[in-house]
Amino acid sequence: MEKAPSFILATEFYPPDSSTTATYLGAIANAIALDVKTIILSGTPGSSMLSATGKGTPEVIEIANWRPPKHALARRLVANTMLAIRLSWAVYRRARPGDVVMSVTSPFTLPYAITFAARLRGARTALLIYDLYPEALVAAGVTRQTSLVARALRLANGWLFRSLNAIFVIGRDVPPLLLRYPRVRADNIHFVPNWTLLPIGFRAPDAENRLRQDHPSRFLAGLCGNLGFTHAPRTVFEAARLLRHEKNIHFILSGWGVGWAELKTLQASENLENVTLLDPVPAEQLAEFLAAADAWIIPYRRNVAGVSIPSRLYNFLAVGRAVIVGTEANSEAGLAVAEEDIGWVVPPEDPAKLAQAVREAAADRRATLERGRLAAVAALKYSEQASTLRYREIVRRLREDGGAN
């Protein structure tokens, strides 16, 4: 008797990894498992402990993975390549014609190996794009548009994007970049946004919030999260410098990553009185932390439209806070903020314009509060149920009709 098709997800990050990528993938896999046998090939230590215990839950197969520190770029490249080879072999061993095999763009070596192995087995292929290469590397200043690395990645992408039956993107700014590649079909590209990971509901500013106690009456502008290569936290610090004489405005900065190290170095040198650096809070305290600020800032580098993930935006919306985003107007974050009238969109890496937006937000706190209320309403559009249902529908369609090449 012929077995029913399966869904196979190959990924480095999966619960119990605490990253947002792992959290989203876990939810997507659990949703798809309601419809079809789901197998997770995971590079996260301890993930096999989550393996299926009953019908409608994913089976998790843990793949050995070496994880050097993030700053050890050469070793990470070797480790990522080794993981891609191991995961692709696992796909080749398990995939069958009719299966749907999905990978993600982290690490960047993974999609090429997984798609190649799946096609060798006659399976249908899907890719969830979180980071687009080489564009992310170019935006981060790691390489140039005309470099050998960038040209090689574009050549590989041309084959990859044509080979996929479905491409999931989390921003409306991604498809124009994909459609630059020859023979990539627009109807193979599916926009499915990420969703808030916090309960949705407007939280009124509270002077009793423990994070506001040192600055109970000041306007608090916040920055938090993973400050990676596509972000420009220095822009926020420079805006704070420009506003250092505005006694009613204070900046609370928190996070991790290369940008966080830069902020600590800047503050150690400048010691701005209107800046407070805070360690990241535990997940269970995140909603309280986000509710402490009057507005949140997301500072991107130039030319990251279609490249950087706007996931943190949804948590800011969930707690009902206005957002000031430094980015191109056509980026997903820029589009969402402008369409919903929930904040300000300013040019990226422009401290003066960012400072002006913060000053405007502080000058009319009633209007800023109203933008926060609208943000909480807008957050209802970004629900886990709506997004995972979309993934289920597209995977079901791939299983039924084989997609389109």
CA distance 194 to 384: 8
pLDDT tens figures, 47-96: 988 665 566 899 999 999 888 776 677 888 888 889 999 999 999 999 99
Query: Residue 121 corresponds to which tokens in the numbers above?
Result: 């087995």
- Identify the CATH homologous superfamily for domain 219-379: Glycogen Phosphorylase B; (3.40.50.2000)
pLDDT tens figures, 382-405: 999 999 999 999 999 999 875 444
Residue 195: name the closest of 388, 392, 382, 386 by CA: 382
Strands of the sheet with 322-326, listed across from one edge: 275-278, 249-254, 219-223, 295-299, 322-326, 343-346
Q: What is the pLDDT along the chain (405 residues), one digit of tens a residue?
A: 456 779 999 999 999 998 889 999 999 999 999 999 999 999 999 998 866 556 689 999 999 988 877 667 788 888 888 999 999 999 999 999 999 999 999 888 899 999 999 999 999 999 999 988 888 888 777 788 889 988 999 999 999 999 999 999 999 999 999 999 999 999 999 999 999 999 999 998 887 788 887 777 789 999 999 898 889 999 999 999 999 999 999 999 999 988 999 999 999 999 999 999 999 999 899 999 999 999 999 999 988 888 877 788 999 999 999 999 999 999 999 999 999 999 999 999 999 999 999 999 999 999 999 999 999 999 999 999 999 999 999 999 999 875 444
Domain 7-195+383-401 listed as CATH 3.40.250.10: no
CA distance 273 to 369: 25
**Residue for token digits 């763009």?**
105
For the chain, the domains span: 7-195+383-401, 219-379
CA distance 387 to 299: 26
| DSSP H or E segment with residue 135 | helix 135-139
Give me the pLDDT at residue 96, please: 94
Contact present, 242 and 346 (Cβ < 8 Å): no
Pairing mode, strands 219-223 and 295-299? parallel
